[in-house]
Amino acid sequence: MLVRAVWVEGRKGPLAIYTRVTWRQGGADRPVARCSWMMWEELVQRDHRSRRSAEFTAGLVYLVVIALVVALGLTTTASSQGDRRTVRLRTLSPGDVLYVMLDGGGNSLALIGDEQVVLIDTKSPGWGQSVVDAVNAVGDQPIGTVINTHAHIDHTGGNLDLPAATTIIAHENAKAAMAKMPQFQGPGSRALPNKTMTDRLSLLDGRDRIELYYFGAAHTNGDLIVVFPAKRIAYVGDLFPSKAAPFIDTANGGSAIAFPETLAKAVSTISGVTRVITGHEEGVRATRSASPTSVDISTPQTMTWADLQEYADFNRDFLDAVRAAKAAGKSAQDAAASLKLAERYAAYDMTQASANVQAIYRELDAR
């Protein structure tokens, strides 16, 4: 057994040193999990007593480790003890290889493949090493491919800390926006996307197949949706940051008027998805419920496809209400103050509402 130490922390401080666990398959040693040395010793002894196979032991270790690393809310931290930036790692399906990483900017996803890791969004500048440490806690493969869902620095800043990434993918508009950002000038240009797309792109195959979609301007003019068809999961980035009025970056091609139409295209085109990962943690419930009767299965509670449909409706209803206010002769300030939406949106965070009203008025005036 190859042993590699990984420092893991829980909410109440240091928890354990975890080790890499491998088993033999097809003449090669393949990693299946990490666990504490004491846990491994106990499981091996139990395995010998029951005369069960090594594969059973490996599978049991995997489930126990997932329960510890995910359900108990463990985090991985950068190797330097002076750097306390931590990334919380959660599996999206027990036994699967797709994970969501929280904190440090926008949400990130990591698909742990046999030969490399595909990373979707890389968090804010300075968080790249924490992302690498988190990925290393569940696999030895390098981060070889990066997908940036859009240009904003809280989703792309970690690109600079991923020298092993040979392929960085983004929409062509997102690359153009990133090329103007100071972080990607001079030596930082090496972290710019080197593969761009327009409307559609497919990666990998089988259960790990990834489909990338672009439906038009919304949050920016380069927002991608990342779909894992076999897993029935979609990561929508800041097209759906949480149940809140969205931030619309008009300076980078975002459009308050196009936003609802772009979401509607996504809803009508993509099929088979049941779970939706939002661009920010507010849309992912990753803490254990305090209710003694609740069921906790070690995976975060995500949005559903119905939630995305509702979000498309919210943005459409928002636009219609603002258009009606403008047609009635109201100023943008009065329209924002008197905005009334359906009761089903009562819990939405409306912090950005006034700014979005202003954006809609500017777009309508420019037509």
CATH number at residue 310: 3.60.15.10
- Domain match, 78 and 121 both: yes
- Domain match, 226 and 300 both: yes
CB 110 within 8 A of CB 118: yes
Residue 170 falls within a domain, yes or no?
Answer: yes
pLDDT tens, residue order, the chain (367 aa): 333 333 333 333 333 333 444 443 444 444 444 443 333 333 334 333 333 333 334 444 444 444 444 444 445 444 444 456 888 888 898 888 999 999 999 999 999 999 999 999 999 999 999 999 999 988 889 999 999 999 999 999 999 999 889 999 999 999 999 999 999 999 999 999 999 999 999 999 999 999 999 999 999 999 999 999 999 999 999 999 999 999 999 999 999 999 999 999 999 999 999 999 999 888 776 554 454 443 333 567 899 999 999 999 999 999 999 999 999 999 999 999 999 999 999 999 999 999 999 999 999 999 8
Residue 307 falls within a domain, yes or no?
Answer: yes
Indicate the SS3 state at residue 140: coil
- Domain boundary among the residues 52, 70, 88 is at 70
Residue 358 falls within a domain, yes or no?
Answer: yes
Q: In the prediction, which pLDDT does 83 show?
A: 53
- Domain match, 261 and 352 both: yes
Residue 43 falls within a domain, yes or no?
Answer: yes
CB 122 within 8 A of CB 162: yes
Q: In the prediction, which pLDDT does 287 show?
A: 53
Range of the domain at 302: 73-288+295-366
User: What stretches of 156-280 adopt beta strand conformation (E)?
Assistant: 167-171, 195-197, 200-203, 210-214, 224-228, 233-235, 275-277
Residue 101 falls within a domain, yes or no?
Answer: yes
- Domain match, 51 and 191 both: no
Q: In the prediction, which pLDDT does 29 show?
A: 43
- Domain match, 281 and 151 both: yes
Cβ neighbourhood burial of 216 (10 Å; 0-12, 13-18, 19+): middle
Residue 195 falls within a domain, yes or no?
Answer: yes
- Domain boundary among the residues 70, 105, 126 is at 70
CB 268 within 8 A of CB 215: no
C-alpha torsion sign, points 189, 151, 172, 159: positive
Cα angle at 36 between 35 and 39, to 5 degrees? Answer: 90
- Domain match, 13 and 135 both: no
Residue 227 falls within a domain, yes or no?
Answer: yes
- Domain match, 271 and 226 both: yes
- Domain match, 218 and 281 both: yes
Radius of gyration of the chain (CA): 22
- Domain boundary among the residues 70, 85, 105 is at 70
- Domain match, 208 and 311 both: yes
Residue with tokens 């809609």: 360
- Domain match, 78 and 218 both: yes
Per the structure, how many domains does the chain have?
A: 2
Residue 1 falls within a domain, yes or no?
Answer: no
- Domain match, 119 and 198 both: yes
Per this entry, what is the length of the chain? 367
- Domain match, 58 and 153 both: no
Q: What is the pTM of this model?
A: 0.77
